[in-house]
Structure 1
Amino acid sequence: MHIEKNVFENIFETVMDIEGKTIDNAKAREDIKIYCKRKDLEKNESMGKYPKACYSLGKKEKKVVCDWVAKLNFPDGYVSNMSRFIDMQKYKLFGMKSHDCHVFMQRLIPIAFRELLPVTVWKALIKVEDMLRLNEDIPVILCKLEGIFPPSLFDSMEHLPVHLAYEARVAGPVQYRWMYPFERYLGKLKKKVTNKAKVEGSIANAYLIEETSMFCSHYFEPHVSTKMNVITPRNDDGGDVEQCDGNISIFMSPGRLSGSRKKRRLIDQEYDAARIYVLLNCVEIEEYVKIFVEEKKTSEPNLTDQQIESRLHSDFANWFKIYAHNSNNVDNRIIKDVALGPLRNVTTYPVYFVNGYKFHTRDHGSNRSTFNSGVCLKGSSYGNLSSDYYGILVEIVQLEYPALPIKSVVLFKCDWFDPTPNVGVKIHKEYNLVDVNHKRRFKMYEPFILASQSLQVYYASYPTLRRGKVKPRPNIDLPIDSMAFQDDEVEAHSVDVVDQVSTPLNDPSGVLVDIDDGNDDVQFGEDDDDTDT
Structure 2
Amino acid sequence: MINSKVINPEVLDKWQHDVILTLCQLEMYFLPSFFDVIVHLVSHIVREIKMCGPPSLRNMYQFERYMGYLKGYVRNRSRLEGRIVKGYAAKEVIEFGTNYLRDVRNVGIPQSLHKGRLGGVGTLGRKEELMHPNDLYEAHFTVLQDMTSIAPYIYKHQSLLKNENSHMDNIWLAKKHNQTFSHWLKEKVRSTRLNVDKQVEELGFVLICVVKYEGYDINGYTFYTRQQDQKSTVQNSRVTLIALTIENNTKDSY
TM-score normalised by length of structure 1: 0.28
Q: Which residue of 2 aligns with 1:188?
A: 65
User: Which has the larger Rg?
Assistant: 2
Question: Matched residue of 2:227: which SS?
Answer: coil
Match in the other structure for 1:317:
182
Q: Which structure has the highest strand share of the two? A: 1
In structure 2, stretches of 5+ residues that fail to align are: 4-20, 23-54, 72-77
Runs of 5+ consecutive residues of structure 1 not aligned to the other structure:
4-19, 22-177, 195-200, 240-253, 372-457, 464-473, 475-494, 506-533
**In structure 2, what is the equivalent of residue 212 of structure 1?**
89
Letter in 2 for 1:362: R
Distance 1:273 1:259, change over 3 A: same
Aligned twin of 1:510: none
Aligned to 1:362: 226
Is residue 161–residue 177 contact of structure 2 (8 Å, CA) maintained in 1? no
Residue in structure 1 matching 2:147, options 268, 277, 282:
282
The separation in 1 between residues aligned to 2:228 and 2:64, in whole angstroms, is 38
| 2:206 is the alignment partner of 1:335 | no
Structure 2 CA distance for partners of 1:341 and 1:333, relative to 1, 3 Å: same
Residue identity opposite 2:93 in structure 1 = C
Alignment match of 1:263 (pick from 128, 135, 139): 128
Q: How does the TM-score come out when normalised to structure 2?
A: 0.52
Change beyond 3 A, Cα 1:236–1:333? closer
| Structure 1 pair 215–193 and aligned structure 2 pair: CA distance change class (3 A) | closer
Q: Which residue of 2 aligns with 1:236?
A: 115
Superposition deviation, residue 288 in structure 1 = 0.5
* Alignment CA distance shift 1:288-1:2 (3 Å): farther
RMSD across aligned positions (CA): 4.7
| 2:238 aligned residue | 459
- Give the 4+ runs in structure 1 shifted more than 6 A: 201-206
Aligned match of 1:351:
215
Q: After TM superposition, give the deviation of residue 301 of structure 1 in Å.
A: 7.1
Q: Which amino acid in the other structure matches residue 273 of structure 1?
A: E
Structure 1 counterpart of 2:97, which letter?
Y
* 2:169 aligned partner: 303
- Structure with greater helix share of residues: 2
Taking only the aligned residue pairs, the percentage that are identical comes to 12
| Other structure's SS at 1:364 match | helix
How does 1:6-405 map onto structure 2 within 5 Å?
Answer: 179=56, 185-189=62-66, 191-192=68-69, 208-209=85-86, 211-217=88-94, 218-220=96-98, 222=101, 225-227=105-107, 231-237=110-116, 255-298=120-163, 299-300=165-166, 303-304=169-170, 308-326=173-191, 330-332=195-197, 335-342=200-207, 344-366=208-230, 367=232, 369=234, 371=236
Q: How does 1:473-484 map to 2 (within 5 A)?
A: none
The residue type equivalent to 1:364 in the other structure is Q
Cα offset for 1:287? 0.9
- The offset of 1:289, in angstroms, is 0.7
Q: Distance in 2 between matches of 1:355 and 1:364?
A: 20
